[in-house]
Amino acid sequence: MRSTKALPYFLLAPATVFLCVFFLYPFVLVAIDAFTKGGAVTLDNFRTMTSNWKFPETLRNTMLLAAIVVPIQLVMALSMATIVSKLSAGRSAILYIFAIPLGLSDLAAGLIWLTIFEQSGFLNSWLVSLGLIDKPIMFLGYQNKLVIFIAVVLAEVWRATAIMMVILVAGMGLIPKEYHEAAEVFGASPWKRFIKVTLPLLKPSLQTALILRVILAFEVFAVVAALAGTQFPVLMGETYHWQFTLQDRGVAAAFAMLILVISIAFTLLLLYLLRVPKEARL
């Protein structure tokens, strides 16, 4: 009897210790790095970070990217999940195809979209063969900031919609069929059923999907590095730049704290906005 009581703790111990040592403790360390310089407590690292000429653009780029990419992905993921959950024949094949980007590296996604947008790439080839332009345009050059932004948005939408879709498909599977049938009996149109039945019952999945996705959006890094190099600064890229190229761990840690604070703030916001009262849970 005694051994059975101790057994769960024994089984949980490795994972708990691992997460404390390599997850909680390092975040304490990074906070210390951010708020100290040469052993003294200071806000210098944050001042260096915010006074850098690139900082406003970096913050703006990251937030704007998240603000545009996430809503597009939400609509796309909901449509894809609705399609998949209505399918009977070929469902698993379609689901696999839709889910493919989920398994790809963000660096690979950036390189994939580079094949389209680079100067001798496919977009230029198509535009020239259609006679729309005479000679290839340098889409990803510094004078084409808007195109760079669009390319990054497309690559991000392409890459990370699958994560939301799979979570939503799983969530839709949990909604009992009877709710839809009842709504149908009362004469609700498919659109009304989606708005009044599916969406409210999907709230927990929407919450999970949005939290995961929003945090990933603030972590955008390799897609940008592959498509835009240093011409489109984002928070994670600047963190890497300060840590690796400029060798200033304090400022890199300050950037890390900023990303952390934004991520947690948005997580809490989504937990609040999409909260489900206990009595309304399935």
Partner 1 sequence: MTAVTNDVPAVPATVTDARKAGSGLMIACIVVLCVWVLLPIYLLLVNALSSPAEVTSFPKRIIPSFDFGSLSFFLNFQGVGKALWNSVAVALLTMVLSIGIGAPAGYALSRFDFPGKEAFRFLVLMTRAFPLPLLALPLAVLFIRTGLDDTAFGLAIVHTTLSLPFAVLITFSLFSGIPVELEEAAWTLGCNRWQAFRKVVLPLALPGIAASAVFAFTISWNEVFAAAVLTIENRTLTAFLLQSINVSPLYLKFAGGAALVVPALIFIFAVRRYLFAMWGIANR
Residues 217-276 that bind partner 1 (CB under 8 A): 218-219, 221-222, 225-226, 229, 236, 239-240, 243-244, 249, 252-253, 256, 259-260, 263-264, 267
Instruction: List the x/- string, 40-59, binding to partner 1 by CB under 8 A.
Output: --------------------
Contact present, 215 and 264 (Cβ < 8 Å)? no
Distance CA 161, CA 229 (A): 23
Q: Report if residue 67 touches partner 1, rule: CB under 8 A.
A: no
Closest CA to 198 of 213, 211, 188: 188
Token look-up 């399609």 returns: 83
Q: For residues 72 and 18, what is the distance between their CA atoms, to the nearest angstrom?
A: 37
Give the number of residues in contact with partner 1, rule: CB under 8 A: 91
Cα(12)–Cα(196) distance, rounded to whole angstroms?
42
- Stretch 80-139 residues interacting with partner 1 (CB under 8 A): 80, 83, 86, 92, 94-108, 111-116, 118-122, 124-125, 128-129, 136
CB of 271 to partner 1, least distance (A): 9
Token code pair at residue 255: 């950037």
Contacts with partner 1 in 23-42 (CB under 8 A)? 23, 26-27, 29-30, 33
Asked if 239 and 257 touch (Cβ cutoff 8 Å), the reply is no
Q: Within 166-225, which residues bind partner 1 (CB under 8 A)?
A: 166-167, 169-171, 173-174, 204-205, 208-209, 211-212, 215, 218-219, 221-222, 225
